[in-house]
Amino acid sequence: MHSLTQEIRSFSRANLRKQRTRVTTLTGRRIIETWRGACLHMEEEEEAAPGGGFVPDLSADLQVGVVKPWLLLGSQDAAHDLETMRRHKVT
């Protein structure tokens, strides 16, 4: 069984998938963010979003990711929800 320390030491950026993130501003402007080397590259998307920007989502985020059986990842909404904590056996 590998320890978490061993897994962290064996981490390689080369194994990560390439990601693109689309950011929509309040005004509806769309920006594409990508990493090239060690730098963040940003370019504006050619078509603006119709009807302006985004609508904030104020609903509770109760999603919990199980990284390892003893290591969970989630939002503060999930951390404050007792039923979610019980379901994942957090004590």
Confidence of residue 12 (pLDDT cuts 50, 70, 90): confident
One domain, residues 40 and 63 = no
One domain, residues 13 and 39 = yes
- Whether 56 has a pLDDT exceeding 90, the answer reads no
**How many domains would you assign to the chain?**
2
Confidence of residue 14 (pLDDT cuts 50, 70, 90): confident
Q: What is the pTM of this model?
A: 0.43
One domain, residues 8 and 37 = yes
Least trusted range by pLDDT, from 14-18, 51-55, 58-62: 51-55
Residue-number span of the structural domain to which 12 is assigned: 4-44
One domain, residues 40 and 9 = yes
Asked whether residue 50 is domain-assigned, the answer is no
Q: Please state, in angstroms and as integers, the Cα–Cα distance from residue 29 to each residue in 15, 19, 34, 45, 72, following that order.
A: 32, 20, 17, 8, 34
